Structures are given as C-alpha cells and as structure tokens.
C-alpha cells in the first residue's frame, strides 16, 4: 500500500538547515519550560491519601467518579481492585496522617450520598519520598532505554547511526515532556510509561529509514550521501505516514473510549507520534548527513587473504 510514489524525489535534505534550526529552538524552549515551570506531577509522584472502599453490589467506576466530584473531590483517581465491588481512590495530600483520617471519612460520606452500600476497607497516607524514588527510577529507565538503543544501532549499523539515533531520541523525548511542561497537564506513571513507549515507537521508525539508507548505499555505485538519504526518506515515506496515521487513530480511540485513566497515555502517544514522525524525516537524517556517513562506512570489512592475492 503506497500513498506516495516511492520513486519521488522530494528534497527533504534541502530543508535541513531550517528543520534542524527549528528543532534546536524547540528543544531549548522545552528545556527552559521543564526547569522553570516544571511538570505537574500526579499522585504517583507527589504521594497522597489512598482510600480503599467496598460496595455490597457491583458499581461502575464512572459512577464513583461522579459521586466524588459532587462531593468536592474533582481530581481523585479511581481504580478497580480486580473486581466490580472493590475500589482504590487516591487523592492529593492535604496534611499528615490525622488529616488522612478526615479525608477518608469525607470520601466515604460523599460516596454514601449516592449509594449507601459502601464501606471503608482501609486508608493510608503515602509520603512524597515515594514519589521522589519513582521520579528518579523513571528518569533512569528512560536513560537506559536510550543508551540501549544507541548500542544496538551501533552494532547493527555503524556508530554514526547510533549518534544520530541518540540525538533524535533525546530530541523526541525532550519535546514530548516539554509539551507537558507548557500545558501543565498531569504527569503520572501512566504518562511516564507512554514516554518510554514513544522512545520505542520513534526508534522503530528511524530503524526502517536507516535500513533503507544502508541498502541504497550498498546498491549504488556512485553514492552521493545527500541523494541516498533523500531517496531513503522518499521510499519509506508511505510506510512512515501510514504507520503514524493508524497508530494515531488507535490512540485517539483509546482517548475517547478508554476512560480518564488512560487519557494521559493516549495524549502522550499522540504527541510523541507526531514529533517522532517529523523527526524521522526532518531531524535524524540531517544529523546523519552532518556526521559524514558514507558508503565506505557501510561496506563489510574483509581481511586480506594471501592465497587470493597470489591468484591471477
């Protein structure tokens, strides 16, 4: 299935100065936003009050959210505990353990205003130090994923490809997180998981383009790097757009029909898909060109054989 002619000759590399300049400006702006405005961390990272309740009869999670909103708990996170009667409710911390007791009582009162068959199972206060550990672990996870990808590409292709991939992965991750810093949307563990998914999705697209670059370098006698890179982008453009489009449709469906719990994941993936698609076309390959990739770098290295050297 092709929506673009694979033999087209759109000069994407001709726009490399403009595209890389725009990317650099956006990266700087994202870093500034992250360090000045910061991220709006959710309960997973800030800690909070956890209240577990049980209903005598099955209950819908949406019904519980509506009851909590009516009771003044608009930002509560409601999750099922493996069934239709037990639920965990997490709320933003408002004080010490004594305050957690009051919050738990207010939560149960708000739920009983809608349905009287609810009872408190337990409640607990999770301090912010747990969230700090989760934030640190999340950052370490992202760094290890990017380093692992770089090592893989260095072994499969060549070190210049690994460096180009590293630059583009940092670019995609920083811009995605920068959007969250700009709009101050809640950043929780679900969003962090989707950032890791964005890294994997983005590198998958770049591996496809890089593989075509290697193939074209090896099959072309007169291999001009800029022409080869342009041909690689053009020949994989339909695949890139189709994959991004259908993945985006899937994430949009998840957002509209999956419920509030997965909104963060879906939004992050939509942002990451857009950024990753554009960086595969306008950022990764210009970086690869400026790193000086050539046909010689991709040809297999053979050892000299004295037996072959003596043959006529």
Q: Using DSSP, state whether 57 is helix, strand or coil.
A: coil
Compute and round to an integer the Cα radius of gyration of the chain.
26
Equal CATH topology for 13-40+130-298 and 48-126: no
Q: What is the pLDDT of residue 309?
A: 44
Nearest alpha-carbon partner for 279 in 39, 26, 2: 26
Average pLDDT over residues 118-139: 78
Q: Which of 132 and 213 is assigned the larger pLDDT? A: 213
Split at pLDDT 50, 70, 90, the class of 298 is: low
| pLDDT higher than 90, residue 103 | no
- pLDDT tens track for 220-248: 767 688 888 999 999 888 888 998 999 99
> What share of the chain has pLDDT > 90, as a percent?
22
d(CA 30, CA 172): 11
CB 165 within 8 A of CB 87: no
Instruction: Identify the bridge partners of residue 53 per DSSP, sorted by sequence position.
Output: 87, 120
Average pLDDT over residues 126-137: 72
Instruction: Identify the bridge partners of residue 126 per DSSP, sorted by sequence position.
Output: 48
Tokens 């998981």 identify what position?
193
Average pLDDT over residues 193-211: 86
Average pLDDT over residues 255-279: 89
d(CA 147, CA 165): 10
| pLDDT higher than 80, residue 83 | no
- pLDDT tens track for 3-21: 666 677 888 998 999 999 9
d(CA 99, CA 47): 14
In this structure, is the dihedral angle defined by the CA atoms of residues 301, 307, 310 and 312, taken in order, positive or negative? negative
Q: What is the pLDDT of residue 166?
A: 86
Q: Which of 174 and 46 is assigned the larger pLDDT? A: 174
Q: Using DSSP, state whether 206 is helix, strand or coil.
A: helix
CB 80 within 8 A of CB 65: no
What is the pairing mode between strands 40-41 and 186-187? Answer: parallel
CATH number of 48-126, picked from 3.30.1300.10, 3.30.70.3400, 3.30.565.10, 3.60.15.10: 3.30.70.3400
| pLDDT higher than 70, residue 303 | no
- Assign a CATH topology to domain 13-40+130-298: Multidrug efflux transporter AcrB transmembrane fold (1.20.1640)
Nearest alpha-carbon partner for 94 in 71, 117, 73: 73
In this structure, is the dihedral angle defined by the CA atoms of residues 292, 145, 194 and 90, taken in order, positive or negative? negative
Domain ranges of the chain: 13-40+130-298, 48-126
| pLDDT higher than 80, residue 261 | no
């Amino acid at each position: 299935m092709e929506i673009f002619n694979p033999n087209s000759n759109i000069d994407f590399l001709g726009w490399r100065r403009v595209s890389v300049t725009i990317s650099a400006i956006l990266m700087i702006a994202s870093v500034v936003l992250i360090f000045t405005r910061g991220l709006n961390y959710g309960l997973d990272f800030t800690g909070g009050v956890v209240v577990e309740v049980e209903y005598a009869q099955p209950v819908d999670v949406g019904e519980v959210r509506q009851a909590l909103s009516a009771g003044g708990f608009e930002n509560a996170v409601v999750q099922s505990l493996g069934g239709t009667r037990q639920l965990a409710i997490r709320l933003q911390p408002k004080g010490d353990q004594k305050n957690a007791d009051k919050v738990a009582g207010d939560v149960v009162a708000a739920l009983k205003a809608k349905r009287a068959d609810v009872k408190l199972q337990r409640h607990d206060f999770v301090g912010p130090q747990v969230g700090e550990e989760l934030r640190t672990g999340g950052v370490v996870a992202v760094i290890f994923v990017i380093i692992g990808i770089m090592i893989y590409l260095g072994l499969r292709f060549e070190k210049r490809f690994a460096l180009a991939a590293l630059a583009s992965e940092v670019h995609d991750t920083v811009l995605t997180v920068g959007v969250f810093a700009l709009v101050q949307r809640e950043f929780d563990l679900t969003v962090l998981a989707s950032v890791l998914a964005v890294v994997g999705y983005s590198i998958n697209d770049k591996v496809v383009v890089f593989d075509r670059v290697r193939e074209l370098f090896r099959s072309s006698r007169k291999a001009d790097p800029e022409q080869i890179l342009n041909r690689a982008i053009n020949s994989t453009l339909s695949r890139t757009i189709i994959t991004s489009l259908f993945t985006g449709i899937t994430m949009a469906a998840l957002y509209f029909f999956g419920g509030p719990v997965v909104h963060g994941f879906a939004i992050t993936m939509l942002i990451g898909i857009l950024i990753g698609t554009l960086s595969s076309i306008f950022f990764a390959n210009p970086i690869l060109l400026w790193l000086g990739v050539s046909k010689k770098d991709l040809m297999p290295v053979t050892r000299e054989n004295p037996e072959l050297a003596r043959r006529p």
